[in-house]
Amino acid sequence: MNIKWNSEEYSTGFDFVHKYGEDVLKLITADKGSLVIDLGCGNGALTQKLCELGYKVVGIDDSEDMLQFAKAAYPHLEFHKGDAVNFSIENKADVIFSNAVIHWIDKERQEQLIQNIADNLKPGGEFVCEFGGKDCAGKVHAALAESFKKRGLNYTIPFYFPSIGEYSPLLEKHGLLVEYAVLFDRPTVQKGEKGMENWIRMFVKKPFNGLDDALSREIIKEAAESLRSSLYINGQWYVDYVRIRFRCRKIQ
């Protein structure tokens, strides 16, 4: 992934990530007691939910900071460090679950990611996921791109946001039969009067690499203000999220 997380700030100011993720758990059809890998488990909140649902669960994440937070919060659960693209588990999983992770993986590494997921699933096992879909936060990225352009800078969206039609063939190419897929808008409320600026600072880090702090603050504030007329609604900031969900089964 192309980000270094602040686990404390993420877990308190942006807890919508795992709260929305609870709905994705409903897509899992495996029996209780099945081995579930929570891939990109972050702070462990959804790993705990999987445990409460009766699954044997292991959380995997590449962030040391997030893993330390998860282990402290849920000491009864098993967590391991691993990159989504090349992690390996000794016992193949019945389910690999992933929430809000895949869009962080560069497009060029997506097929390697999918193949690795398939390799770590049992035949007939499920891959259940949600991540950013086509045009996710499109208005926010457009505003940032405009602010960068005004200063002679280039802005590149640091995420991979595919459509169903783009991603399904990749999954099936690597032996994961798509059983369910949906793309939907989900405007997502942010906390506080600085909610938009805080969201940009938390999630859009890569484009600001190499810029000094003063310039970064100036761009972020300007972009947020330009979004006020469209994304500040009834006293609350929203980010124009688009989400994509899949449930796939490994072909035996």
Which pLDDT does position 10 carry in this prediction? Answer: 43
How do residues 89-113 score in pLDDT, each as one tens digit? Answer: 999 999 999 999 999 999 999 999 9
Q: Do the domain assignments include residue 208?
A: yes
Give yes or no for a contact between 240 and 19, defined as CB atoms under 8 angstroms apart: no
Take residue 134 and report the two structure tokens written for it.
Answer: 């086509």
Domain with residue 173: its CATH number is 3.40.50.150
Give the pTM: 0.90
Q: Do the domain assignments include residue 174?
A: yes
Domain that residue 15 falls in: 7-250
Q: Do the domain assignments include residue 2?
A: no
Give 208's pLDDT tier (boundaries 50, 70, 90): very high
Take residue 142 and report the two structure tokens written for it.
Answer: 């457009």
Number of domains, the chain? 1
Q: Do the domain assignments include residue 160?
A: yes
Which pLDDT does position 11 carry in this prediction? Answer: 45
Q: Do the domain assignments include residue 62?
A: yes
Give 190's pLDDT tier (boundaries 50, 70, 90): very high
Q: Do the domain assignments include residue 206?
A: yes
CA atoms of 194 and 217, how far apart (whole Å): 12
Q: Do the domain assignments include residue 244?
A: yes
Whether the predicted pLDDT of 142 surpasses 90? yes
Q: Do the domain assignments include residue 1?
A: no
